[in-house]
Amino acid sequence: MKRILCLALAGLALLALASCAAGGESVEVWRAVSPYYLEGGSAVRSETVRVDAGLSAIDAAVEAFNTGTDRPELRRALPEGVDVLGWTLDGGALTLAVSPGYASLAGRARTVADCCITLTFCAIEGVESVSVHALGAALSSSMTPDGFVLEPQAA
């Protein structure tokens, strides 16, 4: 009986260690809904992503935003090879530096990317608006969550 109890306690200790190693911080990231799953609802949806607990809130959001997803109905808001590279915060205005490829996004793809960036980063305490720059040029400026309609409006 003591042997079984010791084995059970050892197993619980291993589970606790594994959960600590897999620990970190949860960040809510907004993703684009894959076209196959898009059926008249929102073109964006949130996903919880685990990141290193030692990061600042904005660095954690950048890391999470730049990662891919395992969920088939979702995809990164930015195309392959385009990432958030850095940031500055001035008061409540967050400026994100992104890969130059962001400038080539147009139409629905650009709107979805701007929306996902805005919803992800404006959820951080102290961030009121987001601007996106590439190679020093402003691509989108002073975006807030109020600037996006997430669900179709009733007629």
Q: At what angle do helices 107-122 and 57-66 cross, to 10 degrees?
A: 150
Q: What angle do CA 83, 86, 87 make, to 5 degrees?
A: 125
Q: Is-contact 49 9, C-beta < 8 A?
A: no
Residue 6: CB atoms within 10 A of its CB come to 10
pLDDT for position 42: 82
Q: What does the pLDDT profile of the chain (155 residues) look like in tens digits?
A: 444 333 333 343 333 333 334 457 899 999 999 887 777 678 899 999 999 999 999 999 999 999 999 999 999 999 999 999 999 999 999 999 999 999 999 998 999 999 999 999 999 999 999 999 999 899 999 999 988 766 655 55
Q: Domain coordinates of the chain in residue numbers?
A: 24-146
Supply the pTM of this predicted model: 0.80
Residue 53: closest CA among 26, 25, 28, 29: 25
Predicted pLDDT at 37: 75
